[in-house]
Amino acid sequence: MAREHAGVKILMATSEAVPFAKTGGLADVCGALPVELEKLGHEPIVILPAYRQMRTSGMPIEPTGIHFEVPIGNKMVEGSFLKSHLPNSSVPVYLVHQDHYFDRPELYRENAEDYKDNCERFVFFCRSVLEAIRLLDLHVDVLHANDWQTGLLPAYLKLEYRGVPGYEQIGSLFTIHNMAYQGVFWHWDMLLTGLDWKYFNWQQMEFFGNLNLLKTGLIFADRINTVSPRYAEEIQSAPLGCALEGVLQNRREVLSGIVNGVDYREWDPAVDGDLVAQFTPETIEQGKAACKADLQSSFGLPVSPRTPLVAFVGRLADQKGVDLLVATIRDWVQSHDVQWIVLGTGDDKYQSALTMLAERFPQRVATRLEFSNRAAHRIEAGADMFLMPSRYEPCGLNQLYSLKYGTVPIVRATGGLVDTITDANDKTIAAGSATGFQFSEYSPLALAEALQRACNAYAQPEVWKRIVQTGMRQDWSWTASARQYGDLYRMTANQVRRGMVAGNT
């Protein structure tokens, strides 16, 4: 049982976690947050599927000898549990082993198409998680589910397990990492869940005639959170609510946002082994100059110390505002003394447009249509400005990396970008609180105006240095976020313990 100020025992269920399996930011959160929670005196446990990808994790994995079977539709499916731990911690990691579902080349899709049985795969995973609590004798206070792949967990806990000894006072927290991915399947997949058809209605699991697993998690969880306070507000209305804004409005009393943290063991220019020169806020001028020259040279751009170097690293997709990026480069490339570096892969139309710009203007534009972690580190260290013109951004991490590396973010005022970047204006620069540049309207003109403000500040070395050093001294480590999660876990556990669960069953 969770006590008011005691550590909380949390079972974090996720479809991915570093270093075992990763496709995106969810894996970083579920690999880093539990380590920080343990340092604060909590007892986190992580559970995820045993994908083929885990074989290259470098972590020791051993069998527990515990086997189980769970119902999937009208059949019983067997599985077993493997065990490991998170690096640099004693946080236990359990892996749900079932080769038919998880021994595949990718996690969710292959050859650009989702696996046809994704609903069945994650029904199995969710049922396995609930059985793990009993079979592994976990005695958890809070079951922390993440994204649509675990959306059935709060429903199973409330509808099937609430009266089972050992489960009576487990609270459920459901975290949304991106509302756009909802786990929507045809209505007959409701049979796979084993839940009564009466829950397939517009107020609970049904979504325009289909089964929606994200909606299921939102409806049945005791508490809901997402990865920034601003995003928690934005998803309560269209378009960012992705047609579930009504559900979130109805549950706003239990909805909150906590900004993701950064692992400074990996992202810190003072110790980054990928850089030609390491630096701190005090040695930024010499260190950044060396990194900038190295970056310009390695990307085939002229080595020009005072030419602003603007970078973009990420998916070349609509969500990331790449249409604004391409339009701005086209507009500026012949009229402004600015260099551009783009690293990433994505939509063919953007890859083609950026390739053409780089071929036509090789002195101004350099692109690498790939993802390279080493190149990302060198770009963060060598660029002067980092562009994130996102249509929406639940949290965002690159702007936080950029702050640490003295690379001033230029961001659209949405989601976590608003919560983490203080716009530079006369007032905030004078107060020493400015860390970047924001723009609100989603348009090339608004982006260009923010970029021009940044270039104007860059032309004033003392002003620029103040903005850079303020950003570098920010602390966006997981420590502060983990404390907030600790408070949220206590609230969740106490809410259930006091019999205050929402009447939504």
Please state the domain extents for the chain: 9-226+252-261+479-497, 281-475
**Which of 201, 257, 307 has its CA nearest to residue 420?**
257
Distance CA 97, CA 81 (A): 6
Distance CA 416, CA 227 (A): 7
Q: Give Cα 410 to chain centroid, integer Å.
A: 20
Instruction: Determine the pLDDT at residue 504.
Output: 46
| CB of 258 closer than 8 Å to CB of 485 | yes
Distance CA 474, CA 199 (A): 46
Considering the domain 281-475 in this protein, what is its CATH number? 3.40.50.2000
CA atoms within 13 A on the CB side of 42: 30
Q: Could you confirm whether domain 9-226+252-261+479-497 is CATH 3.10.180.10?
A: no
**Which of 176, 160, 177 has its CA nearest to residue 168?**
160
According to DSSP, the residues that pair with 48 across neighbouring strands are 95
Distance CA 415, CA 229 (A): 8
CB atoms within 10 A of CB 307: 18
- Residue 131 vs residues 104, 134, 138, 262, 334: alpha-carbon distances, Å: 24, 5, 10, 33, 62
At position 227, the amino acid (one-letter code) is V
Instruction: Determine the pLDDT at residue 163.
Output: 87
Fold identical between 9-226+252-261+479-497 and 281-475?
Answer: yes
Global pTM reads 0.91
Instruction: Determine the pLDDT at residue 402.
Output: 98
**Cis omega (within 30 of 0) for bond into 305:** no
Distance CA 135, CA 81 (A): 10
What is the token pair recorded at 364? Answer: 């101004």
Strand ordering across the sheet containing 210-212: 184-185, 210-212, 206-207
pLDDT in tens, the chain (505 residues): 444 457 999 999 999 999 999 988 899 999 999 999 999 999 999 999 999 998 888 899 999 999 999 999 999 999 999 999 999 999 999 999 999 999 999 999 998 899 999 999 999 999 999 999 999 999 999 999 999 999 999 999 999 998 899 999 999 999 999 999 999 999 999 999 999 999 999 999 999 999 999 999 999 999 999 999 999 999 999 999 999 999 999 999 999 999 999 989 889 999 999 999 999 999 999 999 999 999 999 999 999 999 999 999 999 999 999 999 999 999 999 999 999 999 999 999 999 999 999 999 999 999 999 988 899 999 999 999 999 999 999 999 999 999 999 999 999 999 999 999 999 999 999 999 999 999 999 999 999 999 999 999 999 999 999 999 999 999 999 999 999 999 999 999 998 887 744 444 4
Q: What is the CA radius of gyration of the chain?
A: 24
Q: What is the DSSP letter of 372?
A: -
Q: What is the DSSP letter of 161?
A: I
**Which of 228, 236, 276, 275 has its CA nearest to residue 256?**
228
